[in-house]
Amino acid sequence: MEQSIQILNNWSLKKLMDELETGHIKIPRFQRDYVWEKTKVLALLNSIYLKYPIGTFFLWIAPKKYNEFIREVEDLSLPDNHKDGNYSFILDGQQRIISIYVTLKGLTFEKTDYAAICFNLDEEIFHVPRKKREKNNVPLFKIFDREEFNKVIAHYKTKDKKNKTNYVDKLNYCREVFLGYPVSIVQTLHKELDEVVDIFERINQGGKKLSAFDLVHATTWSPKFDLKGKIQEFNNTNKLQSFGGLNNKVYTQALALNYFDDCSNTYQLKLTPEICSKEWNKTKNAISAAVGFFKDMRIQNDLTTYQNYIPVIQYYFYKSGENSIREEHQKEIEKWFWDSKFSKRYTSGVFTKIKEDITWINELLGNHSAQ
């Protein structure tokens, strides 16, 4: 059996940072924005110094075809080498990795100056000095960078000799800890994106489980388009409220179906702000017509048990450009729906069966785009 997971216990913190800096480790587009406050960063750094565990980092060794999912973060100034080969995408640990990297490099990231984080030689803790006059605070990036570190050591050798202190020993120890701190890496191998999304959903990020919709929302958000806000607004309309609103996945599957003729996780994650903005109104109207179909079928209450059918039914309205089913298609669509419901068609292999059903719809309408 082909190995699909690999646990690495021979990585150091420095190797992890080097892999990120050289572009071998990438942030995927479905990751959330960096959200950690400086207090959490300080707690992380102090844990490293005290040699406490900081958790495992999960990476996905992705085939070349997924290079389009790389998310470039301008403030990190990481190399753009998309075509060089396969990459390791961060599945879990992004907040920790970025926190450590920006501090060790002394970067300004998201308008926060991480060069201000210092190691206090008297208390042996990391903090942000409140006053510039505070003594014996050394920025962490100066300890990590060899050239800067030599300058700091030269300064404190003189100070140690004069005041009979041991600051040089503390500086050397701090540097050794950060260079050699062992990290645990779990790599997923030979996985396709759909499988990786399932893994990602199961990973606990800061105590909150991420859903597939969280991932899609992260990839489709822009200052001009917020899919979550659009869905909430539409769900609050009178027509949708009477049914208790629709699940977020109905909308992402519908958008992917309408644009790509496929709604598997891979295609949902290919949605962009531009695609969603372009397709939203037409998709919203098609979903509204699909809800009307259920009303005509005398289904008046909660649509929870029918939500796998909505993306397919709305696809008919999207492709036909009409708000009602054509008379010549009415009996066929109704028969498909009741046959699917009573046979429990969507209890397994959902995406494959949806693909089959929209191919049938295109044939019904005389289209050929989904074949």
Q: Which residue has the higher pLDDT, 196 or 115?
A: 115
Q: Domain of 131? A: 1-210
- Say if residue 38 is exposed, middle or buried (CB neighbours under 10 Å; 0-12, 13-18, 19+): middle
Place of tokens 């990476």: 59
DSSP letters, 283-300, are HHHHHHHHHHHHHHTT--
Q: For residues 268 and 348, what is the distance between their CA atoms, to the nearest angstrom?
A: 19
Phi, psi of 101 (to 5 degrees): -65, -50
Phi, psi dihedral angles at 179 (to 5 degrees):
-75, -35
Both 299 and 156 in a single domain?
no
Task: Please tell me whether residues 255 and 140 are part of one structural domain.
Answer: no
Contact 171, 156 (CB under 8 A): yes
Q: How many domains does the chain have?
A: 2
Residue range 129-159, pLDDT digits in tens: 988 778 999 999 999 999 999 999 999 999 9
**In sequence order, what are the beta bridge partners of 58?**
92, 186
pLDDT bin (cut points 50, 70, 90) of residue 310 is very high
Q: Is the pLDDT of residue 82 over 60?
A: no
My answer on whether 56 and 149 are in the same domain is yes
Query: Which pLDDT score is estimated for 326?
Result: 92
Backbone angles phi, psi at 26, to 5 degrees: -125, 155
pLDDT digits (tens, 9 = 90+) for 160-200: 899 889 999 999 999 999 999 999 998 888 777 767 766 66
Please check whether residue 227 lies inside any domain of the structure: yes
Task: Kindly state whether residues 231 and 310 are assigned to the same domain.
Answer: yes
Say yes or no to pLDDT of 249 above 60.
yes
Portion of the chain with pLDDT greater than 70, in percent: 89
Percent of the chain with pLDDT over 90: 48
Q: Are residues 14 and 85 in the same domain?
A: yes
Examine residue 371 and state whether it is found in any structural domain, yes or no: no
Q: Specify whether 230 is located in the same domain as 196.
A: no
Shared domain for 75 and 193, answered yes or no, is yes
The model's pLDDT over 43-78, given as tens digits with 9 standing for 90+, comes to 999 999 999 999 889 898 887 777 777 777 777 777
Give the CA distances from residue 61 to residues 58, 65, 86, 294, 354, in Å, rounded to whole numbers and listed in that order. Answer: 10, 12, 7, 44, 29
pLDDT for the residue numbered 206: 47
* 1 and 52 housed in the same domain: yes
Where does the pLDDT of residue 207 fall: very low under 50, low under 70, confident under 90, or very high at 90 and above?
Answer: very low
The answer to whether residue 215 is domain-embedded is no
In a domain, 370, yes or no: no
